[in-house]
Amino acid sequence: MTNRKATSNDVGESKSIDYKIRSLIFMQNSIELFSIKTYHHFRFLKYL
């Protein structure tokens, strides 16, 4: 019984850590995408 409880708790812990890492990666990717878009936008404006 105690083993089962510990494993379920561990799974929850690892899931939360995985979620945090995924959200961080997602944020980084979206920031990079946004900066690339604005960079190209400004380059386009420079050419006009």
Model confidence pLDDT, tens digit, residues 7-31: 666 677 778 889 999 999 999 999 9
Question: Both tokens of residue 5?
Answer: 């409880």
pTM exceeding 0.85: no
Q: Is the pLDDT of residue 2 over 60?
A: no
Cα(19)–Cα(7) distance, integer angstroms: 18
Cα(9)–Cα(23) distance, integer angstroms: 21
- List of E strands, 1-48: none
Give the per-residue pLDDT at 8. Answer: 64
